[in-house]
Amino acid sequence: MKNLILLLSASLLFASCAMKQKVMDVSVVSMTQTHLPPAAKLQEKGPVSSTFCSDAMHDKGNIGLFDEAIKSAQTQNSVDFITNVSFWKDEKGCILLEGTGQKIVADASSTMEDTAATTTDDAHAKKKSGKKSMKK
């Protein structure tokens, strides 16, 4: 009987320490970007995670917990977006974020096209300015 009580107490202690509750799943989040710019792609940087507790800011309640967890994960991992995000709440009321970090990269084909167009436009501009200066 004594062993059973000890076993139940130990399992209760471990269960309460590891207890976290899923709050929600979100496909994409960012505190720094509102959209993916045209002619840009995302490059996967790997798994990211962060934890934010409201008492770290000496305020009470749950206001801003998600925002702060997102901002923290983006800053710590130098990413622009976080995809496949899961938010959890632990026994202390802290928000845990787990997801995949993504960095914005320019699309190589559109960059080459933009460079070619700019070069062509510059060449036309030089021709026009050269013709005008010859007429004067």
Q: What's the confidence (pLDDT) of residue 134?
A: 46
Instruction: Please tell me whether the overall predicted TM-score, pTM, comes out greater than 0.75 for this model.
Output: no
**Which of the four pLDDT bands, split at 50, 70 and 90, describes residue 64?**
confident
pLDDT at 15 over 80: no
Q: Which domains does the chain possess? A: 19-121 (3.30.110)
Q: What is the mean pLDDT of the chain?
A: 78
pLDDT of residue 106: 84
| DSSP per position, the chain | -HHHHHHHHHHHHHHHHT-EEEEEEEEEE-SS-SSPPTTEEEEEEEEEEEEE-GGGGT--SSTTHHHHHHHHHHHHHT-SEEEEEEEEEETTS-EEEEEEEEEEEE-HHHHHHHHHHHHHHHHHHHHHHHHHHHH-
